[in-house]
Amino acid sequence: MPITEMLSRNARMYPDEISLIEREPAEGLRREITWLEFEKQANKVAHALLERGIKRGDRVALLMTNCLEWLPVYFGILKSGALAVPLNFRYTATEIKKCLETAGAKILVYGPEFIKRVAEIQNELSCIESFIFVGDNCPDYAENYVEFLAGSAAADPGIAIANTDHAALYFTSGTTGTPKPILLNHANLVSACITENRHHLQQHDDNFLCIPPLYHTGAKMHWFGSLIVGAKAVLLRGVDPRSILETVSEEQVTIVWLLVPWAQDILDAIESKEVSLRDYRLEQWRLMHIGAQPVPPSLIIRWKKVFPNHIYDTNYGLSESTGPGCVHLGIENIHKVGAIGRPGFNWEAKIVDEQDKQVPRGKVGELIIRGPGVMQGYFNNPEATAKVLKNGWLYTGDMARQDEDGFIYLVDRKKDVVIMGGENIYPVEIEEFLRAHADIKDAAVIGMPDRRLGEIPIAVVETKPGKILTEEMVAEFCKSLPRYKRPRRIFFEKVPRNPTGKIEKPKLREKFCGDGIAQVV
């Protein structure tokens, strides 16, 4: 069964029930659609695309922030037999152009936030045959979304879709270089639905709060666990603690997926009395889970003190594994917080050395995974594909170790390991240590070139609001670390993260390592 059939089934079973709610507190906006309205809009998108010459295997790009139209457009593309190509809404005009050309997209569906960026490149996009604009004040060269759908049938287009048919191209998040398009088929997407639902036990009466961007596999594939049972979801535009708590309370949300900074902000707002839990109805909120980045155990200890009745999970995944779930902690394993967990439902995992031999437990090696969500490959890039797909195993590029109980702990990205005087230093270990400081909100560690040692670890520290730290104070705190792991330089500023929560270390390297040489202090 292709993933589009799940939507059609929900429309048949729950036609008048709410499927999606969009909230934008800053604008006082709230919109909703039923499952039948969702299905009809997707069908109209499919017919409109077919009428404009889109054929099976063509690529249609989406460039929108989270909104009520996003998922119907996505499913409409899939129903037409085409491939959906979601684009990062933080891309510059140049990056948008590069991704559209790499994907060979024929149509671009975009929102008002991108008028200026698209206008810059509109005349240079020879691959794009039509621009579809979702919003008011449509540019002259684009077609308005409402007019695009006008006259299109609301019935299913009747395109036969097999599980093995290609479904989507997702570009990597780009924290380690130029984004690459990841090719997924319908079987990949369906496997994400099954794995997510098996892990978090979504029921029809659950309500999932979706805050991260839908262009990324993380947010959407967590929602897939709700799709498979016809449960509703809320798309929230805004990440401040008050908006999150108000939404959970007013929409009676039961499941929330957060990134580490958002969870920290909520706790900080509660502890500072900026918000009071007495003002909200939160009894129904049963699950909080986090993914996309390492989770400090100290954060979850704080969270459980404030929300003792919440069940908790940590999720690990990649776009190349169709999002989260290939490894996960499990709601029954909170005593192992700090680990990313064990292989997820229907998944296998190993930790191997440079010769692809499995390392003993406790030893560091590269995490490799195998399962139904492994991508088909990098689109039109067999060389890059061959580097990460070997005999059905996906080489993640993440360095990890496994404890005596089989739980996997991330050590760092293979590319981010700092080698100082021949000694491997794993920045994630130091970052987690720094985040345990009461006045530190976030931290990032990178390697800075050094004449004598090759590289030295330096730390970028973001303090909590109203807190003041000095380099000497942080250095004193770090004295409980082994000497070789202590940061040699400390800088104070905001830690840059992409929309999925990953530290953008290339930006830090460009800023702090631009001269190529460091002086050890």
Q: Using one digit for the tens of pLDDT, what is the confidence trace for 153-199? A: 999 999 999 999 999 999 986 444 567 899 999 999 999 999 999 99
For residues 491 and 513, give the distance between their C-alpha atoms in angstroms, rounded to a whole number.
12
Q: Which residues contact 440 (CB under 8 A, 6 or more apart)?
A: 434, 461, 462, 463, 464, 469, 474
> Of 3.40.50.980, 3.30.365.10, 2.60.40.10, 3.40.50.720, which CATH number belongs to 7-12+27-161?
3.40.50.980
> Of 3.40.920.10, 3.40.50.720, 3.30.470.20, 3.30.300.30, which CATH number belongs to 418-512?
3.30.300.30
For residues 464 and 276, give the distance between their C-alpha atoms in angstroms, rounded to a whole number.
19
Q: Where are the domains of the chain?
A: 7-12+27-161, 418-512
DSSP character at residue 29: E
**Quick count: other Cβ atoms within 10 Å of Cβ 238?**
15
Number of helical (H) and strand (E) elements in the chain, helices listed first: 15, 27
Residue 481, judged by CB atoms within 10 A of its CB (0-12, 13-18, 19+), counts as: middle
Please report which confidence band the pLDDT of residue 293 belongs to, taking 50, 70 and 90 as the band edges.
Answer: low
For residue 365, report the phi and psi dihedrals to the nearest 5 degrees.
-155, -170
Q: Is the pLDDT of residue 267 over 70?
A: yes
Nearest CA among 107, 86, 82 for reference residue 181: 86
Which three-class secondary structure state does DSSP give residue 191? Answer: helix
The model's pLDDT over 342-379, given as tens digits with 9 standing for 90+, comes to 999 999 999 999 899 999 999 989 999 999 999 999 99
Q: Is the pLDDT of residue 516 over 60?
A: no
For residues 110 and 118, give the distance between their C-alpha atoms in angstroms, rounded to a whole number.
9
The model's pLDDT over 78-125, given as tens digits with 9 standing for 90+, comes to 999 999 999 988 788 988 999 999 999 999 999 999 999 999 999 999
Nearest CA among 417, 396, 399 for reference residue 326: 396
Amino acid 227 reads: L
Q: Decide whether 7-12+27-161 matches 418-512 in CATH topology.
A: no
Nearest CA among 331, 340, 332 for reference residue 295: 340
Instruction: Say what percent of the chain tops pLDDT 90.
Output: 73
pLDDT in the model for residue 499:
66
Q: Is the pLDDT of residue 26 over 90?
A: no
For residues 462 and 170, give the distance between their C-alpha atoms in angstroms, rounded to a whole number.
31
Q: Inter-axis angle of helices 70-79 and 35-51, to 10 degrees?
A: 50
Instruction: Tell me the whole-structure pTM to 2 decimals.
Output: 0.84
Residues 381-400, mean pLDDT to the nearest whole number: 93
